[in-house]
Amino acid sequence: MTYKYKDILILWLEQKKDIKIQSQLRYEEIINKYIIDLLGNLYLQDINKKIIIEAINDYKTRNLSLSVIRTIIYIIKSSLKYAYEEHYMDYINLNDLKIKNDLKTIYIFSKEEQNILVNYLQNNINIRKVCLLLCIYTGLRIGEICGLKWEDIDFNHNSLIVKRTIERIKNKNNNNNNNKSKTILIASTPKSDTSNRVIPIPMFLIGYLKSFQGDRDNYLLSQSHKLYDPRYFEEFYKGVIRKCDIQYINFHTLRHTFATRAIEAQMDIKTLSEILGHSSIEITLKLYVHPSFELKKQAIENLVEFMAN
């Protein structure tokens, strides 16, 4: 039987039973949106390395994010490997098919902006402000703070444990013939094993947390069993930024800023990497730690002083 590549993509996705539902939905979306459009109608015997490289170069011209292109490459490599192992086609060596890590500029808040933000949040305190302060001082992702329950706060050791994340995914039960939502909120485990982690809570936040403490099974942000939508917290964050008269930068900037401030305070990279939940120190260095110009100036002055002695 002669197979087209789109047939193999369906078979490949069906046999990937060990991945999270959100990953499966992401792969399905990228396959339907990008890969089938360009490669899906090719017969397996007509696919070769040159065609794959041309396709990747085409994706690069579409102004897609680095994450999307990397996922496309992963799906192509993995699905063609599957086709070879199942004896649908000959082997194609794609081991050297990679994309450079050309990272976009990462923005952080200045110390002055951060102080303005913190001072505002400490006035007329409420639980949403406390949670935003937690993000500033721990580097939590938006899904992680939305997934935090009171049972995750250890007041004996002044720490919190990250063990779930809230995210919005495509509703597979939705179709054009019903009124169901196109997306649904789910609580799932964090993105990797290292994302499950214990983080110390700054002492000044402990008092705030105790004043709003609720039932163990309640989420901090919803103060109930109901899942709290990260989009609501993003809107709250935008409102705070406007009231502080600070230029808006997306929510993840709080995480970038936390990492940079930690390095400026001379936190060791291993500790920072574990707090952020990264699988390696290299990821922390490449993705989140971007020294400020002031830190670079200080490093040069320290070097001059060292060389003079």
| Interatomic CA distance for residues 83 and 22, integer angstroms | 24
Q: For residue 114, give the nearest of 10, 224, 1, 262 by alpha carbon.
A: 262
Question: Residue 285: pLDDT above 80?
Answer: no
Under CATH, which number does the domain 5-85 receive?
A: 1.10.150.130
88 or 266: which carries more pLDDT confidence?
A: 88
pTM (whole model) above 0.75: no
Q: Domain limits of the chain?
A: 5-85, 111-161+198-295
Handedness of CA 48, 50, 55, 59 (dihedral sign): positive
Bridge partners, residue 154, by sequence: 159
Please tell me the predicted confidence (pLDDT) of residue 50.
Answer: 92
Burial 236-255 (b: 16+ CB within 10 A, else e): bbeebbeeeebeebebebbb
**Residue in this structure with the two tokens 């008092």, named with its chain if needed:** 207
Please tell me the predicted confidence (pLDDT) of residue 117.
Answer: 97
Distances (CA, A) of 75 to 93, 96, 192: 14, 15, 19
Neighbours of 67 (CB within 10 A): 9
Q: Are 132 and 240 in contact (CB under 8 A)?
A: yes
Q: For residue 166, give the nearest of 190, 192, 182, 183 by alpha carbon.
A: 190
| Interatomic CA distance for residues 257 and 248, integer angstroms | 14
Integer Rg of the chain from CA:
23
Please tell me the predicted confidence (pLDDT) of residue 92.
Answer: 92
CA 277 to chain centre: 11
Q: What is the pLDDT of residues 198-257, one digit of tens each?
A: 999 999 999 999 999 999 999 999 999 999 999 999 999 999 999 999 988 899 999 989
Domain 111-161+198-295's class? mainly alpha
Please tell me the predicted confidence (pLDDT) of residue 48.
Answer: 93
